[in-house]
Amino acid sequence: MDRHPRTETRGGDAAAGSGIDAPGTASTAEHVVETMTMAAALNRALADALAEDERVLVFGEDVGALGGVFRITDGLTARFGERRCFDTPLAESGIVGTAVGMAMNGLIPVVEMQFDAFALPAFEQVVSHVAKLGNRTRGDVRMPMVIRIPFGGGIGGVEHHCDSSEAYYAHTPGLTVVSPSNPQDAYSLLRAAIASPDPVIFMEPKKLYWSKGVVDTSITADLRRASVVREGSDVTLISYGPSVAVALEAAEALAAEGRSAQVVDVRTLTPFDDETVSNAVRGTGRAVVIAEAPGFASVASEIQARVFEQCFEVLEAPVRRVTGFDTPFASPKFEHWYLPDVDRVLDAVDSLHWEG
């Protein structure tokens, strides 16, 4: 028997006056197609989930009246009440531990870690309990929860505020790890994460919060699938989250040089979509992996290894990586040197044995 039956619902409106019912009631929100920021898309996804399932709760540091430091939860407490969206003490381990208890008792907690490195005090809860309870109980106790983590650089922040911690979670069996790169995926992937019966680590690229795009709230997402976001025939650029924009910009620059670059957005780091990535690389024979995190023992390293293993016979050149450096995150004045940029991607592409 499913301990956490779900109603498959999609679509909605997070804006004021959208028709969302009063707290404690469930409804099907309005389907809309609008241009909005990634921040607004995340806010809408949370509002729609709260409106459609009264078991969904949102909590974390300053997410209530303030609406979160990035305003992702703006207006949710006013709309749904302090029982559905509320502030917590500055105690990340306690936040996740509380979410574990809620999930074990049939609720669907969505928690916000204020910044990437702020989530590390909760790491023991995540690794020892969130990721393992399903396996520990042979599936009798599921963990339907989402841990939202703003991550990555590009905002002029410092260490603890701009780290890329995705490899820690991707290395932990039992967790689904997701990172959107555009407003549509932010909406659709967050709705899919909240609907999942198992725990999802939702890594949100801070520097893309104010990027804009069209969002259709009827579009659903599969947490197991990558996406080819630009077709090309000469080289495949593989990335996720904040670095997809760099890959797309590099593809434009390569087109001006007469090279056709394909771009794959991994979207879900684990489970990893080998099929889409391998098929893409098999079509071009060359690949570059782009990610902000330090390169050593990273998600980028894992992608590079999997492409080598599965596409070796068709590769025209070694798979390259363009990553952050193996150092603590740079100070604001130097982060533009730390983060992967178009020039570093073009240099990597140039090294892919084009002669002959």
Catalytic residues: 161
Cis peptide before 271 (omega within 30 of 0): yes
CA dist 22 and 115 (Å) reads 31
Cβ atoms of 192 and 223 closer than 8 Å: yes
Angle at 324 between CA 320 and CA 326, to 5 degrees: 100
For the chain, the first-to-last Cα distance in angstroms comes to 61
Strands 146-151 and 200-205: parallel
CA–CA dist 69, 162 (Å, integer): 14
Short-list 115, 117, 111, 114, CA closest to 130: 111
Dihedral sign for Cα 118, 121, 127, 130, please: negative
Could you tell me which of 306, 33, 74, 327 has the C-alpha nearest to residue 187? 33
Q: Distance between CA 290 and CA 141 in Å, rounded?
A: 37
